Structure 1
Amino acid sequence: MKMIDRPIGLESLGIGNTQVSISANARLLNENYKQGFCLNTVDQLRDILKKNGLLLHEDFIKESVLNLAHVKNDFDIDIDDIISELELITPSKFFKVIRDNGITFESINKGDKMAVNVYGKHYEMTKANKSKYKGLDINFEDFKGLSRMESRLNDWRTVKKYLGTRNMHDILQQKNTNYIMLMNILKGQSMETPKLDLGQFKTISQLDDYARTKLLFEQCNGNYGLMVAELKKRLGNNTKATYQTNKIKKLLPLVQTPGGRKLVNLVCLKSKLKE
């Protein structure tokens, strides 16, 4: 297929002796972009491929396997409100990167080709990546006020690990995938913490733990990974850091927001993703 003839969203199409390989994103669906690839748009996908010289069986998704998958949910919570609360989260199994229009959590496990992006969809379409949507019959106003959570599983092992299958039909039937991903990120995090009161530290040891956490937080600019690394330097090679790092995790919310916090938008997001 010549590049000039390729429809927007169809990245590659390969036809072999025994199998077909397709790489595509939801822009291929044009006016139905907002729905994404789902059971409701499978027939449209098949028709588009037919027009481009590939006729697939009507039940092709039952025989299809995915080498990567991006799972999305759109929700009507202001992206700035979501980012302001996700900034306070210090997950132990994810790197966190904050951007102007979003935030990314990437697995620290090098074997996982996985990242979770949360971003403002309207801004992404009209400002950040405007050229990607040129020529498509999309009403950008339909995305105004929407934020998107997108879990990107970028190799077949990661797809299998997190979705339990690579079968396209089974994956399109699944629900709550992004809820599960969010719960992995929020694991061990408190959605509400009280206002700091030094009187709650009844012993010198407890006060020392708080002071140590506060010092590490300030010196490491809130980077949890660096805080743990600094702690381990002083414990020695033969001493496990689990006990000390658990103390840091427990006290970190009080250090981050001494005035107390209630992550109401994240609680709301959890509810929406579970619907």
Structure 2
Amino acid sequence: MHHPGRRKRVGLFVPCYIDDFYPKVALSTLELLEAHGFEVVYPEGQRCCGQPFLNNGLRKEGARFARHFVATFEDYDYVVAPAGSCIATVRHRYEGLVEADRLAALTPRLFELCEFLHDVVGVEKLQLKHPFPHRVGLHNSCHALRELRLGAPSELTIPHFSKIKAVLSRVEGITIVDPARDECCGFGGTFSVQEWAVSAMMGRDRIADHRQQGVEIMTGVDRSCLMHMEGLARRDGTPMRFLHVAEILAGRTELSDD
């Protein structure tokens, strides 16, 4: 329930791999939300959204995580996560796993970070204080592009738009570069394990595309995709940095989470 005069409460959901490997992304998200006037709460009882199970058809196992997620976050005004794939999982794969009325009440309040900044805060109202004078390549992850519709997929004949680019464009000095081809990086969760050779080739193709565009740094809203390509770049000795969008927006770009 919304109460006039009080700050809206945001439940911050931090995906497993960000919690384990890239905590700076979570801190950046927290700082951005607080800087725009929201009361941010990190529910300590939160767990995985269940995506690894649901992607592999393990609905019974995934249902336990789905019920826990809804119970944990349903009382907040908004739920925000710095991860397109996790938000897409809740929106598109929880049907039939949780009571329909509870899921229907939660889903409209559930946002990926850039989506939240674009749709709820508003691009013109963004207060971004950290310049980033670099040539940055934008990787559009599949879940964010084709399930959350944060941009126009290349296979659809619709007017071009990009909520991620609109938000990033508010950063002083940044130059945003689109790759020549709009393709999957090959991560795909367990796909990168089961079909590792194909996955690696797809990732290297994405890196090469950005390199040909003169990109110094690659960014996106899914750190899992960036993690996949960053591993390939390091292995190949490719001089490219990988930063989550939240890190650029919050100015946490000087150090990595190594």
TM-score (norm 1): 0.24
TM-score (norm 2): 0.25
Higher radius of gyration, 1 or 2: 1
Question: Where is the strand percentage greater, Structure 1 or Structure 2?
Answer: 1
